[in-house]
Amino acid sequence: MKGDKATKERHPRTAIWVALMVMLLAEALVYTWCRVQYVTTGYEIAQATEECQQLTELHRKLKVEEAHLRSPERIIQIARERGLVMPDSEQVVVVP
């Protein structure tokens, strides 16, 4: 009978230790998952920032190219190459 009492007393202590160890392991796993998410989000932010900088530079280059393509000197040069000339004053008709 004495052996049964000692065994019964030992089981609650073992159960408490097992529960504490499970909680500690679960906490470690949650902490690790949070850190992995933190690092992953940091990489995503860095990649998005780099992409934003690249797109901003491309936008600037396209604005410069647009300004060059719209320049009146370029348009006049293309028109002359195609045989177009400025109209004389008697060729101009003003539409009311």
pLDDT tens sequence across 42-81: 999 999 999 999 999 999 999 999 999 999 999 999 999 9
In a domain, 8, yes or no: yes
What pTM was estimated for this model as a whole?
0.58
Tell me the C-alpha distance between 38 and 30, whole Å: 12
Examine the pLDDT at 9 and tell me if it is beyond 80. Answer: no
CA distance 26 to 29: 5
d(CA 67, CA 56): 17
Would you say residue 90 lies in a domain?
no
Is 56 among the domain residues? yes
Instruction: Give a yes or no: residue 29 inside a domain.
Output: yes
Which residue bears the tokens 């936008």? 59
Distance separating alpha carbons of residues 22 and 6, to the nearest angstrom: 24
Residue 89 lies in a domain: no
Number of structural domains the chain divides into? 1
Residue 51 lies in a domain: yes
Q: Which domain holds residue 71?
A: 2-80
